[in-house]
Amino acid sequence: MKVRVRFAPSPTGYLHLGSVRTALYNWLFARHNQGKFILRIEDTDEARSTKEAIEVIIEGLKWLGLDWDEGQYYQMQRLEIYKKYAQQLLTEDKAYYCYCLPEELEEIRQSALAEKKPPKYDGRCRYLTAEEKREYETQGRKPVIRFKTARKGETKFVDIIHGEVKFENILLDDFVLLKANGVPTYNFAVVVDDHLMQITDVLRGDDHISNTPRQILLYQAFNWTPPEFAHFPMILGIDHARLSKRHGAVSVLEYRNSGYLPEALINYLALLGWGTTESQDVFTRDELIKKFSLEHCNKAAAVFDPHKLLWLNGHYIRQIPIDKLSEYAFKELRKVGLITNEIDENRQEYIKKALALEQEKIKLLSDIPHLIEFFLKEDITYQEEAVNKVLKVVGVEKILTDLEELLAKETDFHADNLENKVRQYCQEKNLSTKVVFHPLRVAVSGRREGPCLFQMLELLGKECVLKRIEQCKQMITAV
């Protein structure tokens, strides 16, 4: 059969990195095999599923470019389908009505724990007589439907990543298929959906391994062929603890809002549990599709390193053509009010040139406003450290006065010419370049670090440079 995989998130919270990696691996597997990638929203947790969470899931997948071929399907719109198949199991005596009340189930659980046994349902409703059922119904009890799990033998399957996995059936309980309100449980709905949607491969996190034997038993009960299974190892934080918010396990959209590129996040997540024999780190999307295979997925847990993600993001930013980078930059600059919604063509070109000077230093798109704001503001802010360590040095005011006079005479304000003239000044005054360059940089930018000094002067322009040098001298005098 043609490969068909699905991403089936539960909309009970944000779309976090573990879920995104699952979606990515399914998407890559489908694209590598010219198959279909299906989106299914498993929204049967009525108390916790929200419309907002669904919107975040869809927005996150679209931002990452993980497009789906079918869907999105919603389980809560398929309740009649699940009822039909639950009824089939009842008819074939492979399931039964359970009338136990919540307090009775808790009593069963506590009793098992006290006896140091697995806290599972003891099957007391499995063999109810017709009279006993009528009595419960007379009491107004609403039954759930439970599956008749085999009491002996074992259930096994071959996991593509972990190999053969076995479970003793005696350790499994008669799990619920349909709740009293007619809503299916996870294990039942997923089997029905995967069969009807002709899913060939179920690729998911290894926290689902314990669900697999129950699902295999359902496939057998329906006489359906189960899909292939592959369970990915979990993602750990840098301290090898379970990934949490403090490690960066936040909504994928927070990475977007923080200035990460979708290409960088996709590339990095692909490496969390998979790799090539060449130990390649940087992949284009097409390379990921071409090279991805389940056989190269790891059994061991992956470690999420935010520093490597940041490095990778900077790498991708450095590769972006300046026209594309400027589109991102305009959005970031508007967020902080450095530009308005409408900017003329000359201003756009000016910003592009400023970006080009700083592109090598940008690690996050959100870095852009800070890095180039002194190109855009009328009045700059002087860093306290720059003032104390550079401008308060004896002789700096005289150097700035000399430079102001020197630059005022220049008709050629190109970087090469400016550098030659300032270096010539250093030689004539017997001054080291850093003694001259550093005050000049701070005077026109307010900071000790930045792009190439003379390219910066050229872009700022003669009028702006002279004005800022004069303002800086006045500031030095005032302090």
- Catalytic residue numbers? 245
d(C-alpha 272, C-alpha 285), whole Å: 16
Range 435-438 contact pairs with CB under 8 angstroms and sequence separation of 24 or more: 435/395, 435/399, 436/399, 436/403, 438/390
Residue type, 100: C
Going by the DSSP 8-state scheme, the letter that residue 408 receives in this structure is H
Q: Which of 90, 74, 95, 96 is nearest to 193 (CA)?
A: 74
CB 6 within 8 A of CB 25: no
> Which distant-in-sequence residues (6+ apart) come within 8 Å of 119 by Cβ?
108, 109, 110, 112, 113
Q: Are 161 and 299 in contact (CB under 8 A)?
A: yes
Query: Hunting for tokens 């996190």 — which residue is that?
Result: 205
418 Cβ partners below 8 Å, 6+ apart? 407, 410, 454, 457, 458
Q: Is the dihedral of CA 280, 285, 288, 290 positive or negative?
A: negative
What is the spatial distance between Cα 8 and Cα 103, in angstroms, rounded to a whole number? 32
> Closest Cα partner for 336 from 359, 301, 370?
370
Q: Which residues contact 75 (CB under 8 A, 6 or more apart)?
A: 40, 41, 42, 43, 44, 82, 184, 189, 193
CB proximity list for 424: less than 8 A, separation 6 or greater: none
Helix (H, G, I), strand (E, B) or coil at 70: strand
